Amino acid sequence: MILIINKVEICGVNTAKLKVLKEKEKRALLIQMQNGDTTARETFIKGNLRLVLSVIQRFNNRGENVDDLFQVGCIGLMKSIDNFDLGQNVRFSTYAVPMIIGEIRRYLRDNNSIRVSRSLRDIAYKALVIRDRLIKENNKEPSVSQIAKELGIPREDVVFALDAIQDPVSLYEPIYHDGGDAIYVMDQVKDSKNTDESWVENISINEAMKRLTDREKLILNLRFFNGRTQMEVANEIGISQAQVSRLEKTALKHMRKHV
């Protein structure tokens, strides 16, 4: 029997030998459970693990650990058992499947805000194990190059893998508080250059530049975008520094009318 990624044993459970309960058996066990029979509950859970298995196969293309999904699915199964009403004219599997799916989706949403491939996680965790071993052996922090050498992979792969498993930090995470207004991460990383105001200003400058002559455009580009001096501009385009100064002032005057 071939299951997810050819894995027959999940969380220590041999999925090839999972028992499937008939509807009459399920109902009888549910009645026993309502009467406080804990053995019946255990039997009922084991008899519905194949239902969990069928659900998690829907998520087998997400790169998630199968054991983790199975455990989360089992939580959904137990929740559905606790909330199932025998008085409703519905099969247990019909009620349980949405509950199991919902539990798995909640897990994926809450614990995997950034998708990291299984191979990257494996490299990162192996690197951390080697790091701990080298610290014990040498009593000092190993370099990334040393870890990469132990793993037999490029240094860049180790760096990329370790960065990938870092927990994301909220932009609203406070990093300093002295009793007044807190300083948040977003205050430290915000882009003061690419604001709405600078965006509009850049559009205005580009439109104003279109109204200049080719020589005026060249002079302003060399002076303010390439950082050249008036003398350097004069030598490059073959005119005097006085002419460059006059043309520059005239071009700027024209631009101010349109900015």
Q: How far apart are CA 24 and CA 89, in angstroms?
A: 14
The answer to whether the CB of 112 falls within 8 A of the CB of 63 is no
The CATH architecture of the domain made up of 4-111 is Up-down Bundle (1.20)
Domain with CATH 1.20.120.1810 in the chain: 4-111
pLDDT band at 1 (very low <50, low <70, confident <90, very high): very low
R_g of the chain computed on alpha carbons: 33
pLDDT at 88 over 80: no
Q: How far apart are CA 171 and CA 168, in angstroms?
A: 9
pLDDT band at 167 (very low <50, low <70, confident <90, very high): low
Task: Please choose, from the candidates 169, 140, 44, the residue with its C-alpha nearest in 3D space to the C-alpha of residue 132.
Answer: 140
Domain with CATH 1.10.10.10 in the chain: 118-164
The reported pLDDT for the residue numbered 2 is 37
pLDDT at 179 over 60: no
Instruction: Write the pLDDT tens digit of every residue in 194-237.
Output: 555 555 566 677 777 888 888 988 998 898 888 889 999 999 88
Q: What token pair was written down for 136?
A: 């014990």
Q: In the predicted model, what is the mean pLDDT of the chain?
A: 77
- In angstroms, what CA-CA distances link 3 with 27, 69, 76? 28, 14, 20
The answer to whether the CB of 56 falls within 8 A of the CB of 84 is no
Using a pLDDT cut of 90, give the percent of the chain over it: 4
The reported pLDDT for the residue numbered 149 is 92
- Cα 26 versus chain centre, distance: 41
Domain covering 211-256 in this structure, CATH number: 1.10.10
What class does CATH assign to 118-164? mainly alpha
Instruction: Write the pLDDT tens digit of every residue in 131-154.
Output: 888 888 888 888 888 999 999 999
Q: What token pair was written down for 84?
A: 């199932």
pLDDT at 32 over 50: yes
Q: What is the mean pLDDT of residues 34-38?
A: 83
Lowest mean pLDDT among 75-89, 122-136, 189-203: 189-203
The reported pLDDT for the residue numbered 5 is 42
pLDDT band at 111 (very low <50, low <70, confident <90, very high): low
pLDDT at 186 over 70: no
Give the helix/strand (H/E) hosting 11: none
Residue with tokens 């631009």: 255
Q: How far apart are CA 50 and CA 54, in angstroms?
A: 6
CB neighbour list of residue 21: distance below 8 Å, 6 or more residues apart: 29, 44, 47, 48
Q: How long, in residues, is the chain? A: 259
Q: What token pair was written down for 149?
A: 């050498």
The reported pLDDT for the residue numbered 156 is 85
Instruction: Write the pLDDT tens digit of every residue in 37-77.
Output: 888 888 888 888 888 888 888 777 666 778 888 889 899 89
pLDDT at 106 over 80: no
